[in-house]
């Protein structure tokens, strides 16, 4: 069951959760385990910054090759798509893959299912892949051209049910407002927002709802909460409450599903793997872990994926080293929301509620840890994260560990005390 006397750890997925887990495992275990990374891509994509693609950023600037960091850290890299996991024989198989394991980390991420909403695929611009963002760039250029010719246009943003993290769409609506003002056509573009949520960015509590409400009022954006989409037709979106809203350009973040469902593992109805919250071990399979969006934690976000991956690596390493894990997963979200003219920082300690309609809430005992604030000074922080993370991954190092992260974390604490409340 081992390679050269070492336990075989297989990590499936080359995104945030997968790379953080693989690099953290190597940092903790050094030469005590054989680590294999299986990815269906030869590169890592820094997806949070794809929000800049519609406004001119080239997608290649967001890619980090997996070859160099895996070689540097002596991690075997296999390019392929895992489609099946056999927990009995401890083997993963799929397109170009047939590998045994002793421990397995599943970090295959989430996917989108726009076809869940009738008409969404045919009529909406969506924001999941770089290709989607490039398509949106063309649509925005057309919008500006029409407005420059004096034609009034309506842009409608749509958050449907079962979207697990609409943060990037909130960024885009603010970025679009600022961008249109700089193009001197904002007065000819009506911007409308609709979401199934009862509060804006509902999972992150009342302070972000208040912040977004204030931004909408200041920017002249019309917002509708509690609007669950029923269907999309050309130029019209119809909602479950019977109302309908018009649009010339519809921009949506579709419902989430698991990118690769695994029938052999316990999962919910959307394919997300059932896990123990603290350790991320898969229910009934303690040698298998799920990190990031592949697991059943209801909010899908890069920073939460890092925390999960670190918890996985700590718990798994402790089993091999015969020690106690130094950290477990505690959901504490952190994000910087781009707006072009400023940015909004949020630090949000979360807890599960057990209520399907509102699966998470701000932890009641969060005290000073729950912070939200907007400032121009948060924009450099957003840019710095976009440089720091690719630099860490390109070197084969985990994001959320080591002296560089401690320095950045200290800086964030100081900024949050001054610029957030």
Mean pLDDT by 10 residues, the chain (421 residues): 78 98 97 97 96 97 97 97 98 96 98 97 96 98 98 98 95 98 98 97 95 97 98 98 98 97 97 98 98 97 96 97 94 95 96 93 90 93 90 94 77 78 77
Burial class (CB in 10 A: 0-12, 13-18, 19+), 348: buried
Cα(222)–Cα(229) distance, rounded to whole angstroms? 17
Using the 3D structure, point to which of 219, 254, 289 is the last residue of a domain.
254
Quickly tell me which residue has 């083997």 as its tokens.
91
414 in the same domain as 265: yes
399 in the same domain as 267: yes
270 in the same domain as 414: yes
Q: Taking Cα atoms as reference points, which of 261, 319, 318 lies closest to residue 290?
A: 261
Range of the domain at 207: 114-254
Using the 3D structure, point to which of 254, 278, 293 is the last residue of a domain.
254
Reduced DSSP (H G I as helix, E B as strand, rest coil) percent helix, strand, coil of the chain, to 5 = 35, 30, 35
Burial class (CB in 10 A: 0-12, 13-18, 19+), 180: buried
**CATH number for the domain including 147?**
3.50.50.60
265 in the same domain as 137: no
Based on DSSP, count helices (H) and strands (E) in the chain, helices before strands: 9, 26
- At residue 2, the pLDDT reads 53
Quickly tell me which residue has 């949070």 as its tokens.
48
Count of CB atoms within 10 A of residue 205's CB? 22
124 in the same domain as 96: no
Quickly tell me which residue has 């964030």 as its tokens.
412
- At residue 411, the pLDDT reads 77
- At residue 420, the pLDDT reads 82
- At residue 1, the pLDDT reads 47
Q: What angle separates helix 16-29 from helix 302-321, to the nearest 10 degrees?
A: 30
215 in the same domain as 270: no
Number of domains in the chain: 2
Using the 3D structure, point to which of 254, 279, 299 is the last residue of a domain.
254
Beta 81-86 vs 91-95: how paired, if at all? antiparallel
236 in the same domain as 141: yes
- At residue 366, the pLDDT reads 85
- At residue 404, the pLDDT reads 77
Handedness of CA 206, 256, 399, 51 (dihedral sign): negative
């Amino acid at each position: 069951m081992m390679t050269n006397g070492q336990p075989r750890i297989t990590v499936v997925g080359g995104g945030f959760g997968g790379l953080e887990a693989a690099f953290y495992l190597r940092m903790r275990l050094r030469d005590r385990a054989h680590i294999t990374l299986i990815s269906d891509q030869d590169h890592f994509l820094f997806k949070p910054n794809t929000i800049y693609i519609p406004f001119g950023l080239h997608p290649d600037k967001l890619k980090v090759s997996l070859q160099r960091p895996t070689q540097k850290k002596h991690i075997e890299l296999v390019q392929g798509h895992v489609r099946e996991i056999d927990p009995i024989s401890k083997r993963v198989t799929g397109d170009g893959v047939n590998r045994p394991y002793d421990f397995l980390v599943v970090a295959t991420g989430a996917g989108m299912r726009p076809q869940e909403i009738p008409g969404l695929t045919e009529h909406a611009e969506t924001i999941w892949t770089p290709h989607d963002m490039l398509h949106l760039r063309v649509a925005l250029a057309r919008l500006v051209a029409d407005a420059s010719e004096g034609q009034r246009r309506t842009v409608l943003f749509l958050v449907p049910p079962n979207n697990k993290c609409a943060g990037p769409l909130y960024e885009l609506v603010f970025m679009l407002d600022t961008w249109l003002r700089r193009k001197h056509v904002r007065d000819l573009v009506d911007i409308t927002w609709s979401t199934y949520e009862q509060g804006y960015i509902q999972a992150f509590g009342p302070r972000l709802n208040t912040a977004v409400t204030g931004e909408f009022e200041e920017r002249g954006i019309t917002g509708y909460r509690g609007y669950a989409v029923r269907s999309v037709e050309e130029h019209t979106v119809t909602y479950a409450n019977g109302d309908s809203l018009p649009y010339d350009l519809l921009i949506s973040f579709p419902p989430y599903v698991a990118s690769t469902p695994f029938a052999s593992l316990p999962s919910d109805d959307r394919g997300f793997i059932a896990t123990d919250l603290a350790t991320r071990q898969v229910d009934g399979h303690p040698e298998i872990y799920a990190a990031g969006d592949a697991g059943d934690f209801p909010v899908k976000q890069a920073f939460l994926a890092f925390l999960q991956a670190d918890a996985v690596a700590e718990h798994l390493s402790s089993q091999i080293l015969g020690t106690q894990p130094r950290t477990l997963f505690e959901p504490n979200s952190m994000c910087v929301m781009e707006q072009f003219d400023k940015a909004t920082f949020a630090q949000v300690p979360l807890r599960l509620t057990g209520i399907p309609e509102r699966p998470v809430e701000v932890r009641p005992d969060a005290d000073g840890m729950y912070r939200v604030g907007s400032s121009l000074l948060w924009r450099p922080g957003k840019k710095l994260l976009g440089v720091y993370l690719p630099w860490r991954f390109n070197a084969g190092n985990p994001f959320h560990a080591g002296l560089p992260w401690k320095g950045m974390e200290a800086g964030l604490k100081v900024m949050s005390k001054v610029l957030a409340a």
